[in-house]
Each structure stands twice: as structure tokens, then as C-alpha cells.
Structure 1
Amino acid sequence: MPLIAIVIAALAIGFEQLIQWKYGPMGIVAFVLLTVGIKANSLKISGAGAALLVLLLAQSG
């Protein structure tokens, strides 16, 4: 069980670093909003994070 938690944490940190590298600080803000919204079961917060990520993806594409 601890090994699975370590692997999941490493993947999350890697994904966070990838977003920060590609989309900058706003990407981190969007990712944090999405994560906090999902964990808190808040549709408004997770929706704001998801919308911000979509805007960043659309801007870079």
C-alpha cells in the first residue's frame, strides 16, 4: 500500500511539473483549483480549474 501511494505521489508531482513547464504559473493555479475542487466535491472550484486549463490549452494550440 505505501508503495502505491509513493508511485501516485510521484506521478502527480511529475504531472504538476509538466504543466508548470508548459503553461507557467497559470497552469499550476488551474491544476490546483481542479484538484482542490475534486477533493472538496465543489463543482464550482473544479469547473473553474478545468475551464482555465481548457483556455490555456486553446491558447497554446
Structure 2
Amino acid sequence: MPALTLLAAIAVVAFEQFVQWKYGPVGIVGLLLLTVGLKSNNSAVSSTGAVVLALLVLRTAL
């Protein structure tokens, strides 16, 4: 069980580093809003975070 927790923590940190490298500080803010909204069951905050991340992905795809 501790190994699974450690692997999950490493995956989260790696994903956060990737988002920061690819999308910058705005990506981290979007990810933070999405995470906080999901954990607190606040659909407005999680939707805002999802929209921020979606706009960043669309901007880099164009």
C-alpha cells in the first residue's frame, strides 16, 4: 500500500511539472481550480478550471 501511495504522489508531481512546463503559470492555476473544485464538489470552480485548461490546449493546438 505505501508503494502505491508513493507511485500516485510521483505521478501527480510529474503531471504538475508537465502542465507547468507546457502551459506555464496559467496552466497551474487552471489545474488548481479544477482540483479544488472537484474535491469540494463545487461545480463552478471545477468548470472554471476545466475551461481554463481547455482554452490553453486549444491555443497551443492552433
| TM-score, length of structure 2 as denominator length | 0.94
Taking only aligned residues, the RMSD between alpha carbons, in angstroms, comes to 0.6
Task: Provide the identity percentage.
Answer: 46
Output one character per residue of 1:5-61: Cα deviation in whole Å (capped at 9) or x when no partner. Answer: 111111000000000000000000000110111111110110000000000001011
Q: Which structure 2 residues correspond to residues 1-61 of structure 1 after superposition, within 5 A?
A: 1-61=1-61
Gaps of 5+ in 1: none
TM superposition outliers: structure 1 runs of 4+ over 2 Å: none
Aligned length: 61
Give the TM-score of the pair, scaled to structure 1. Answer: 0.95
5+ unaligned residues in a row in structure 2: which ranges? none
